[in-house]
Structure 1
Amino acid sequence: MNHSVRANFNKNSIVIYQAFRPQIALPALQEQKFVAPFSFERMTWIKPSFLWLMARSGWGRKNNQHILGIRISREGWEKALQQGILTTPQPQIYGSYDNWQQKFSKAKVHIQWDPERNIFGKKSNLRSIQVGLSRFIIREYVDDWIYEIIDYTPLTKKIYTLLQKGYTDKAKRLLPPEKPYPLCTKRHRNLFPKDAFS
């Protein structure tokens, strides 16, 4: 499988997606930052793939979740990538299993690649990135990286309704735009599997 980061981004920012129960999502939308009961003591996963989150959250229908688009600074995103350690050992990157385990246990950021999904939730031959932010970096994410938090729940419901009615083309036209995110081979080569840049 090929690995690539596809995202909605511009010169200064990138949009990542998260799904939360109303108790967390609604205060976050009001305050434009995450506040209690959002947990600063456990890992939170951010994802630039809208469709991957749709597959995971059942289009927000699981636990009545709200779909949030969080626009963060590219500087913060890059910092997360550079500090990330893969969730599975890669001998070509880490050498021995013990070396990987040592790095992983101390990592502030976890990097995981999962099969990308299409609009129907089926897996594709592409891999999509997830970035796990540990409690050692979440405060920085919340306080320094976030530009705005957008409620994608109404759009999500509209797209899902169109799909249920068989209007696939109309649904696809409403999907948030995503394009390949530029990765610097030299800067990122130790963070991704060997074929990440293929």
Structure 2
Amino acid sequence: MNGQTARPEPEFRVRARHTDSTLTVYQAYHPGIGRPAARSGRFPGTWKRERMTWVKPSFLWMMYRCGWGTKENQETVLAVEITREGFLWALRHACLSHYAAGLHVGREAWREQLRAAPVRVQWDPERDLHLTPLLHRSLQMGLAGEAAARYADEWIVGIEDVTPLAREIHGLVRSGELTRATRLLPEERPYPAAEEELAHLVPDARQGPPRR
């Protein structure tokens, strides 16, 4: 590295698998929902759009959440490709899920914003292959009401069942073959969000969100 010290990963930054027109998020469901969704590219009628649905651009954070697809009702892991326009709409209409002094005028104002917002955002510690928390954070986005409807009806470009990939990577991690496991991970690059698109969602790094 020519004697230069590597810069630490910024604590708050969206990293995702993305193209010029789409961005991939992950969810995990019971096979009765996940498999029909992957076959048709749309969530089935049993998918409850009136409930808040959480999407995650980080594959490894999804693995932490669903236990590599082993947790009950999370056995089918989906990669959901959505439009970048939809993702941008979600960012613009989101509220941070916790109060942050300096970012919000006051606690009551934040509560009002949270009640009104169709999207809420939280930043959780990113995970490594052993699902150990890292210092930088991964975006998690909760979609409700109008946002959930737009997600299901307008934003989705395609849905892929990546459960076999999750199981393959997990098997390599368990056998200590971390290099091979790393090669199979989806390529997640910094997402080029403009500063104004994230300004209302990024707390003072000195304060930060509560640790999980």
* TM-score, normalization by structure 1: 0.95
SS in 2 for 1:3: coil
Matched ranges for 1:42-121 at <5 A: 42-63=51-72, 65-121=75-131
Residue 185 (1) aligns with residue 195 (2): yes
Which stretches of structure 1, 4 residues or more, deviate above 6 A after TM superposition? none
Q: Distance in 1 between matches of 2:197 and 2:39?
A: 37
Partner of 1:14: 23
Map Cα deviations across residues 155-179 of structure 1 (whole Å, 9 max, x no partner): 1111111111111111111000011
- Higher fraction of helix: 1
Residue 158 (1) aligns with residue 197 (2): no
Map Cα deviations across residues 97-150 of structure 1 (whole Å, 9 max, x no partner): 010011111110000111110010000000110000002321111111000001
Tell me the CA shift for residue 91 of structure 1. 2.2
Q: Distance in 2 between matches of 1:165 and 1:172?
A: 13
Tell me the CA shift for residue 22 of structure 1. 0.3
For these two proteins, the number of residue pairs brought into alignment is: 196
Partner of 1:124: 134
Higher mean alpha-carbon deviation, 6-15 vs 59-68, is at 59-68
Tell me the CA shift for residue 31 of structure 1. 1.7
**Equivalent pair of 1:40/1:138 in contact (CA under 8 Å):** yes
* TM-score, normalization by structure 2: 0.89
The alignment yields a C-alpha RMSD, in angstroms, of 1.4
**Equivalent pair of 1:33/1:149 in contact (CA under 8 Å):** yes
- Structure 2 unaligned segments of length 5 or more: list them: 1-9, 207-212
SS in 2 for 1:190: coil
Q: Distance in 1 between matches of 2:75 and 2:139?
A: 21
* Percent identity of equivalent pairs: 37
Partner of 1:143: 153
Letter in 1 for 2:200: N
**Equivalent pair of 2:55/2:140 in contact (CA under 8 Å):** yes
Letter in 1 for 2:58: S
